Structure 1
Amino acid sequence: MATTQECRSALDKLSDNLARADDGVRGAVALDRSLSCHIADLDVSFTGRLTAGRIDVVETLNGSPRERAEIRLAMTGDDLLALVGGELNFARAWATGRVRLEAGFRDLLRLRKLL
Structure 2
Amino acid sequence: MATEQECRKALEQLAQRLAANAQDARSRLDLDRTLACRITDLGVAFHARLLNGQLLDITDGDDPRAKIALITTSDDLLALVAGTLALPQAMAARRVSLKASPFDLLKLRKLL
How many residues were matched structurally? 112
Deviations 1:45-98 (A, max 9, x none): 10121113221244312xxx3522101100001001111111111110011111
One-letter identity of the residue aligned with 1:107: D
Once structures 1 and 2 are overlaid, which stretch shifts more, 20-29 or 46-55?
Answer: 20-29
Name the SS of the counterpart of 2:5 in structure 1: helix
% same residue? 48
Distance, in Å, in 2 between the alignment partners of 1:88 and 1:13 is 16
Q: Does 1:101 align with 2:98?
A: yes
1:18 touches 1:26 (CA, 8 Å); kept in 2?
no
TM-score by length of 2: 0.88
What CA distance in whole angstroms lies between the structure 1 residues aligned with 2:78 and 2:29?
20
In the other structure, the counterpart of 2:56 is 56
Distance 2:32 2:5 in 1: 25
RMSD, matched Cα = 1.8
Identify which range, 52-61 or 104-113, moves more after superposition.
Answer: 52-61
- TM-score, structure 1 normalization: 0.86
SS of structure 2 residue aligned to 1:33? strand
CA–CA separation in structure 2 for the residues paired with 1:110 and 1:9? 25
Partner of 2:84: 87
Segments of 5+ residues of structure 2 without an aligned counterpart are none
Deviation, 1:114, is 1.9
Partners of 1:110 and 1:20 in 2: how far apart?
20
Partner of 2:72: 75
Partner of residue 36, structure 1? 36
Give 1:5's aligned residue.
5
Runs of 4+ in 1 over 3 A off after TM superposition: 21-26
